[in-house]
Amino acid sequence: MLEFKNVTFKYDEDETDMLENLSFDVNEGEFISIIGRSGCGKSTVFRLINGLLTPQKGEILFDGQNIKSMRNYSAYMPQKDLLFPWRTIEKNISLAMEIQKKSKAEIKKQAEEMLKEVGLWEYKDKYPKDLSGGMRQRASFARTLLSGSSLFLLDEPFSALDSLTKISLQEWLLTEWEKHKKTVLFITHDVEEAIFLSEKIYVVSDFPITHFEEFKIPLPYPRKREDMKRSDIVELKEMLIKNLRQEAVL
């Protein structure tokens, strides 16, 4: 579905490249987490994917087509929910459909179905300030689902939440992913979160980024928290944490 072909990128204010001849691909329906030390370029990769940045060299393809000529192929969900405080929850999740100029009847129908699916129907007339952090993130994800995109870029969406809410939303996200079969790229600093959610983990281990180290997670779906206690999973977690600590020191 997504392919980076020898992509090089440098910010104007920097002396060195952030990415250098980076190539990787993502298959349709995969859930892949990207981990690496702070400032290593993970979010830059997302900005290149959604077209906010343009590579100096190489090309980025979606279903074999250069993204330069495409729209609405990816949806971005950041750490902050970015819900508009003056719009109700129903109006917030309807925004992408309004931009697509769907009919009022279709917008209302899809928004109602989605609000019920994510457990927010009774809060449809509330405003973001009236909801908890976890509920706002569910609303943000509902808005992402209704964008019509098939590739989701989730940039540390749960990092600001308390641990219990975070665990609950991780499990909820997996349920939604299994239901909708969207393709997900997920940035996180939480190794356990990456292991629990992902089919694969891409690790940023060099700077500039020239490649991702790939680790396949030996867990079937659906997953349970008890799976994280398996000896091979504990070993994988400790190995990844050790590698990230070494990179942070370098």
Structural domains of the chain, ranges and CATH numbers in brackets: 2-73+152-249 (3.40.50.300), 87-148 (no CATH)
101 within 8 A of 39, measured Cβ to Cβ: no
Output the CA angle 41-42-45, nearest 5 degrees: 90
Confidence of residue 130 (pLDDT cuts 50, 70, 90): very high
Q: State the CB neighbour count (10 A cutoff) for residue 83.
A: 22
DSSP string, 155-180: ESTTTTS-HHHHHHHHHHHHHHHHHH
Average pLDDT over every residue of 181-203: 94
Q: Report d(CA 110, CA 93) in Å as an integer.
A: 10
Confidence band (pLDDT; 50, 70, 90) for 179?
Answer: confident
Beta bridge partners of 32: 185, 200
CB contact at 8 A, 123 and 43: no
Given phi > 0 = left and psi -120 to 50 = alpha, else beta, which region is 82? left
Report the pLDDT value the prediction gives residue 149, as an integer from 0 to 100: 87
**What pLDDT, on a 0 to 100 scale, did the predictor assign at position 248?**
54
CA distances from 117 to 14, 143, 239 (A): 45, 12, 37
Q: Express as a percent the part of the chain with pLDDT over 90.
A: 60
